[in-house]
Amino acid sequence: MTNRRQFIKITAFGAGALAIGSGAYKAMAGFSSTTEAAKLTVNLTRTPTYCEVCFWKCAGWVYKNDEGKIWKIIGNDDDQHCNGRFCPRGTGGVGMYFDEDRLKTPLIRTSERGKQIFKQASWDEALTYIATKMKDIASKHGPESMALFTHGSGSSYFSTLLKAYGSANVAEPSYAQCRGPRDEAFMATFGEEAYSPEITDIRDTKCLVLIGSHIGENMHNGQVQEMSDAIDKGATIITVDPRFSTAAGKSKYWLPIKPSTDIALLLAWIHEIINQEYYDKKYVEKYCSGFDQLKEHVKDYTPEWAYGITTIAPDQIRKTAKEMANAAPAVIVHPGRHVTWYGDDTQRIRAVAILNALLGSWGRRGGFYRPSKQAVPSSEHPEFPTPAKTWSDAFPGKYSVASTPVSNALIDASIPENNPGFAIKGWIVNGTNLVNTIPNQANTLKAIQNLDLMVAIDTMPMEITGWADVILPECTYLERYDNLRVSPHRKPAIALRMPATEPLNETKPGYWIARELSKKLGLEAFFPFEKQEDFLDWQLKKIGSSLEEMIRIGVKTFEREADDLYFANDEAIEFPTDSGKIELYSLAFEQAGFDPMPKYIAHEEPPAGFYRLIYGRAPMHTFSRTANNPNLTDLMDENTVWINPKVAKEWGIVNDQYIWLKNQDEIISEFSIKVRITERIRWDSIYMVHGFGHAQKQMKRCFGRGASDTQLITKVLTDPLMGGTGMRGNFVTFITEKTEQEVAS
């Protein structure tokens, strides 16, 4: 399998020169401006943080008013992730603190699971309950029968706890429900992933190809800003999307592809680029392996062949291939991020990676830059015990390309009748709303019903907390320290998050929760620092900074050790793949029994009267985590279903009407959704924003507003390589009136 040597430049410990960040930027719609806020905030205290509203992790300043209350949050000028500006969601992040529906105290379930009858408990009581059950599970089934599902900053503490306890089953939905296929595809091709933030050099690109990446609605801050700059500088944008996205509106070419057929388009582009000899011959010869096999493989995949599949006209395919070639190597075929669509996703992103390799964009200005990351020391603790079994033993031989645990496989392993190699008996769920995040809700709920222990750590009473035995209320990111942000970027940098204020009610930081639980389990040696701030200060001093300095500056940017943001001309490079080359033909996939080069496979089409359910993001919300946020519900408080006018006419459906959606498995949306009739969606599909249709009554602002896409995603197209859950193989039809019986069900 792929060799996983780290190729990224990790800057050694030791003080580097502090770079003075540029504060220059242009005003962009929806983004907050530092200057306006700075004028207003003279004499007010400010504390540094990095945003937790999404995983771009922009660094900013939290300002308080005269009464010492949190007032507003703005971007840190020195931060490469945001260049001094937050997106609307980040600005609205203070609403997470003020939300009166927040979890307030630990809770222990007193009735059947899912009935939502809980009693208030003290922290000691709640943690003792969990520790007793965990010890019981360890003695009866072995510690490897516990699993952690986690997303966000607390992941490292709870992961340390679980590993110390003896289990390596730590799964993040950002792998098998999000970017896993992309990471494995890039790893197989370049020996390296696409990272977060992505190493796309959009700032200097001449051509950006977006295949379903809806940057602009997907508000990943730095990318949106760089894309806006690139457009101003005349870059060509090519958008492939069945929907006229915000990005499509800025594009020279919008290719309204028939959904699920992207691999055919990608193969035709590869065919054209090879046949017209548009590819970077020197680069391919020097750095790539498998070119002859690839040429042979794509010889029949002509634009005419792809036309019949994708509905994109051959001359459009040819023209766009030429655009890419003209811009090369300053061209980016964007790797995407949420790429779990049709179950052949790793292979689709392989085609994306291959296209980038042919155009010579990897390691080149305007293509993909070389990331650099600041190394920070970790605290010393005993070695983790070696678990007797790990997640992959539950279903031997499955998902062999997966490099991290697969959340859905752990869920399946919690259902005894699946006869897994070993069964999962307990879950800790931190910062992920699994019920709305993992497709096939019935399966997730069935798994929960089979558990001996289910703990949810959250800030809000979400769907997932409703199913827990014990709910632990974390304070929000505005009320706590967390680990330093050390994400790679053009320059290595660190950012500090610290509490702007005391935690409200009985809520506690994740570090404290994990450490207190470790004490009850006799594992406190794994958390040697009582207070996280002491750990941070120790760590910062080791790299020539201090907590005091970071509180003052928030972000510290170091210089790169060498001038190596891009490959030098003719540089000899050994890529961290099996062959040491960029693999157009993947030896690792072949060895694992999968296609070494991507193939197009036709997917099921919607039956008569049904439409493909596709979904995406809205600029002012993040999944379900912001649905109840008072500041952001002001901007958008429900989702709509986009329907093509031709379809609406056939059904007699009108704008703003509320309808229900029914899927191929007879599942009817629990709540109705407002209709938006628009030419911006193809006639064979409907579109909705993910994260609405909440069924949790305690969230008073968002309960019952809009519909949940997850509820309608009952059919899952699983990626055989790495277990990703393809979610776009579901079809829906319309119900304009619900019978009484249906409404009650």
Ligand X SMILES: Nc1nc2c(c(=O)[nH]1)N[C@H]1C(S)=C(S)[C@@H](COP(=O)(O)OP(=O)(O)OC[C@H]3O[C@@H](n4cnc5c(=O)[nH]c(N)nc54)[C@H](O)[C@@H]3O)O[C@H]1N2
85-114 binders of ligand SF4 (CB under 6 A): 86-87, 89-90
In the complex, the smallest distance separating the C-beta of residue 39 from ligand X, rounded to whole angstroms, is: 28
Element (H, E) at 670: none
Residue corresponding to tokens 């993910």: 690
Integer Cα distance of 7 and 575 in angstroms: 8
Which strand ranges, in their side-by-side order, compose the sheet holding 253-255?
253-255, 236-240, 207-211, 331-333
Q: Virtual CA dihedral for 268, 269, 270, 273, nearest 10 degrees?
A: 120
| Cβ neighbours of residue 274 closer than 8 Å, sequence gap 6 or more | 294, 295, 298, 358
Partners of residue 613 on adjacent β-strands: 686
User: What are the CA-CA distances from residue 734 to residues 185, 329, 500 (Å)?
Assistant: 37, 47, 48
Integer Cα distance of 568 and 564 in angstroms: 7
Q: Which CB sits closer to ligand SF4, 477 or 642?
A: 477
In the complex, the smallest distance separating the C-beta of residue 259 from ligand X, rounded to whole angstroms, is: 3
Binding mask 53-82 for ligand SF4 (x = CB under 6 A): xx-xxx-----------------------x
Q: Which CB sits closer to Mo ion, 404 or 450?
A: 404
In the complex, the smallest distance separating the C-beta of residue 169 from Mo ion, rounded to whole angstroms, is: 21
Integer Cα distance of 469 and 290 in angstroms: 53
Q: Tell me: does residue 451 bind Mo ion (CB under 5 A).
A: no
Q: Which CB sits closer to ligand X, 80 or 436?
A: 436
Give the one entry of ligand SF4, Mo ion, ligand X, none that residue 51 binds, where binding means its C-beta sits below a cut-off of 5 to 8 angstroms depending on kind.
ligand SF4
* Contact residues: ligand X, CB under 6 A: 52, 54-55, 89, 151-152, 154, 173-174, 177-178, 211-214, 218-220, 240-243, 245, 257, 259-260, 262, 336-339, 341, 430-433, 436-437, 457-460, 462, 464, 474, 476-477, 614-617, 619, 621-625, 687, 690, 709-710, 713, 727-728
Give the one entry of Mo ion, ligand SF4, ligand X, none that residue 203 binds, where binding means its C-beta sits below a cut-off of 5 to 8 angstroms depending on kind.
none
Which of 37, 51, 478, 521 binds ligand SF4 (CB under 6 A)? It is 51
In the complex, the smallest distance separating the C-beta of residue 689 from Mo ion, rounded to whole angstroms, is: 14
Integer Cα distance of 344 and 155 in angstroms: 29
DSSP 496-517: ----SSPPPTT-B-HHHHHHHH
In the complex, the smallest distance separating the C-beta of residue 172 from ligand X, rounded to whole angstroms, is: 8
Integer Cα distance of 735 and 609 in angstroms: 11
Extract the runs of DSSP E, i.e. beta strands, from 145-293.
146-150, 170-171, 207-211, 236-240, 253-255, 288-289
Amino acid at site 574 = E
In the complex, the smallest distance separating the C-beta of residue 219 from ligand SF4, rounded to whole angstroms, is: 5
Integer Cα distance of 669 and 647 in angstroms: 19
Give the one entry of Mo ion, ligand X, ligand SF4, none that residue 283 binds, where binding means its C-beta sits below a cut-off of 5 to 8 angstroms depending on kind.
none
C-alpha of 31 from chain center: 21
Cβ-in-10-Å burial (0-12, 13-18, 19+) of 396 comes to exposed
In the complex, the smallest distance separating the C-beta of residue 622 from ligand SF4, rounded to whole angstroms, is: 6
Which of 94, 178, 547, 643 binds Mo ion (CB under 5 A)? It is 178
Q: Which CB sits closer to Mo ion, 131 or 689?
A: 689
Q: Which of 272-280, 338-346, 505-513, 578-586 is the region at the interface with Mo ion (rule: CB under 5 A)? A: 338-346
In the complex, the smallest distance separating the C-beta of residue 680 from ligand X, rounded to whole angstroms, is: 9
Amino acid at site 327 = A
In the complex, the smallest distance separating the C-beta of residue 634 from ligand X, rounded to whole angstroms, is: 16
Tokens of 87: 């997106």
Extract the runs of DSSP E, i.e. beta strands, from 553-610.
555-557, 582-583
In the complex, the smallest distance separating the C-beta of residue 472 from ligand X, rounded to whole angstroms, is: 8
Give the one entry of ligand SF4, Mo ion, ligand X, none that residue 221 binds, where binding means its C-beta sits below a cut-off of 5 to 8 angstroms depending on kind.
ligand SF4
Q: Which CB sits closer to ligand X, 177 or 189?
A: 177
Q: Which CB sits closer to ligand X, 336 or 596?
A: 336
Q: Which CB sits closer to ligand SF4, 167 or 633?
A: 633
- Positions touching ligand SF4 (CB under 6 A) are 51, 53-54, 56-58, 82, 86-87, 89-90, 219-221
The residue ranges that bind Mo ion (CB under 5 A) are: 178, 338
